[in-house]
Amino acid sequence: QVQLVESGGGLVQPGGSLRLSCAASGSMSTTTVIRWNWYRQSPGKQRELVAGITAGGTTNYAESVTGRFTISRDGAKNTAYLQMDSLKPEDAARYLCQVWGRRFGQRFEYWGQGTQVAVSS
């Protein structure tokens, strides 16, 4: 069993920065991470994949955040991060962490509950 807990959300002014963290715990010693993803969702909009990173370090970003956001991971700490710079009001959303993992030969998808990001002056 793996649990994901996001943190780092809050209120920031346009142009400001936030760093989100996603800490995995529970059964990580027997889990191989395949990919970390950050999604976001806001009222009236469907869930959007913001960024992803493979275990090998290959990254992918939504066009709307390319050049402003950076995803990373620390395998030793079982934690992924999303550095968010030059934030815009349209970036406001709940940001959710997702992990694809393999444990005892089985593939699993894990989700955190999310952390709220607000961008306002």
Average pLDDT over residues 52-73: 97
pLDDT above 90 for 110: yes
- pLDDT for 44: 87
Residues 24-43: tens digit of each pLDDT: 999 888 989 999 999 999 99
Average pLDDT over residues 35-57: 95
- pLDDT for 24: 95
Q: Across the chain, what does the average pLDDT equal?
A: 96
Residues 3/39/83/94 CA torsion (nearest 10 deg): -80
